[in-house]
Structure 1
Amino acid sequence: MSKKYIADIVPINDEFIGTKAHGQAEFIEDGNNLHIKIEMFDTPANTQHWEHFHGFPDGKDAQIATMVQDINHDGLVDLPETEAVSGTTMVPFDNAPHEMNIPNDNYPVSDAQGHFAYEIDVPLDELQKKFKSVFGTDDLELDKRIIYVHGVSQDLKLPDTVAGVVGSYDAHVTLPIATGKIKVAD
């Protein structure tokens, strides 16, 4: 028997970015397969968009970050500011989610209209095994997770206070542009 989860993805930091990125995600667990489908609209155009689910390893229910989390009051909620309510970055939606290799260049790139569609089948046993080695549990608990879509043009001037450097990737890559709570589908 399969289990279906969905998330309505809404804009964050849109006042500063100038686009209202939005879309929908669908997750279907069926046997040893996790089918992931994400479609986004109005993202910054011609830009690679990191996308992940975030959460708490202890199973605490993650929540969507809002401007309340802008603790340095620079007008943007950056990646570190999301952690208090959304937890840590867990699983990437790249070309190999089950490898959980977060910083890489294998994420979707939006077209000139800011649209992209991502769809992949993931071997659930491999993802659960890797998830357990990193977080101590093999239960993905999708209904306790938050999706974040990240990424703005390198041309966008960000305040010096925006944090989120991951390896050689700067805050332009990690700045959240959209978010959504994953829920069990009706």
Structure 2
Amino acid sequence: MTQKYQADIISLNATKIGSGPHGTATFIEDNDQLTITIEMFDTPANIEHWEHFHGFPDGKDAAIATAAQDVNGDGFVDLMETEAVSGTTMVPFDDAPEKMDIPHDRYPIADVDGHFAYTKVVPLSTLQANFEKAFGSKDLQLDKRVIYIHGVPEQLELPESVAGMVGHFDAHVTLPIAVGKIKRL
């Protein structure tokens, strides 16, 4: 049975980053395949953009972060501040989502106009097996997840209060710039 999901992706931190990233994501589960398609516009140009779905391992419904999540009042909603409403980073949309390998340099790069289009077809059973190892359940529960797009240029001044260091990647890489709630169609 085929299941289709979609997220309308809206800007987060737009006034601070100087652009209003937006786009759409679709997820189609068909037999043992998950087709992921993401198209983004007006992202910071010429840089790599991490993208993932976030959620709660216990199945709680995740919500998108808004300016209300800026708990330290620095004007930015950073990665750590999203966790209260969106949960943890779960599945990356990189060169091999089924491997669930998150911190690396294999994500889409926006063109000079801030556009990128991403499509991957992944073996659903492999993704589910790795998801179960990480989170205790095979069920991706896509309609309880949110998608985040991350990344701003290194030249953008970020206050020290902006958290988001992951491995050797700093807050410029992990700062959320857009978010969307995934819904079953």
Q: How does 1:150-161 map to 2 (within 5 A)?
A: 150-161=150-161
Question: Equivalents in 2 of 1:30, 1:169: separation in Å?
Answer: 35
In structure 2, distance between residues paired with 1:163 and 1:65: 15
Aligned partners of 1:177 and 1:54: how far apart in 2? 14
Q: For 2:134, what is the secondary structure of its paired residue? A: helix
The equivalent of 2:128 in structure 1 is: 128
1:16 correspondence with 2:16: yes
Q: Shift of residue 131 of structure 1?
A: 0.2
Aligned to 2:146: 146
Q: Map 1:1-186 to 2 at 5 A.
A: 1-185=1-185
Aligned-pair distance for 1:38? 0.1
> What is the CA–CA distance in structure 1 between the aligned matches of 2:121 and 2:164, rounded to whole Å?
29
Where 1:182 maps in the other structure, the secondary structure is strand
- How far did 1:150 drift? 0.1
**Alpha-carbon distance in structure 1 between the residues aligned to 2:27 and 2:2:** 10
Letter in 2 for 1:88: T
Q: Distance in 1 between matches of 2:149 and 2:129?
A: 24
Cα displacement (A) at 1:24: 0.2
Superposition deviation, residue 28 in structure 1: 0.1
Gaps spanning 5+ residues in structure 2: where?
Answer: none
1:19 Cα deviation after fit: 0.4
CA distance in 1, matches of 2:41, 2:47: 12
Quote the Cα distance in structure 1 between the aligned partners of 2:111 and 2:158: 22
Supply the distance in 2 between the matched residues of 1:125 and 1:115 (Cα, whole angstroms).
Answer: 31
1:166-185 deviation line (CA, Å, top 9, x unaligned): 00000000000000000011
Unaligned runs of 5+ in 1: none
CA-based RMSD: 0.3
- Report SS of the residue matched to 2:43: coil
What stretches of structure 1 move > 4 A for 4+ residues in a row? none
SS at match of 1:73: coil
TM normalised by structure 2 equals 1.00
Percent of aligned positions that are identical = 65
Distance in 2 between residues matched to 1:127 and 1:157, nearest whole Å? 37
Cα deviations by residue, 1:115-152 (Å, 9 ceiling, x for unpaired): 00000001000000000000000000000000000000
Instruction: State TM-score, norm by structure 1.
Output: 0.99
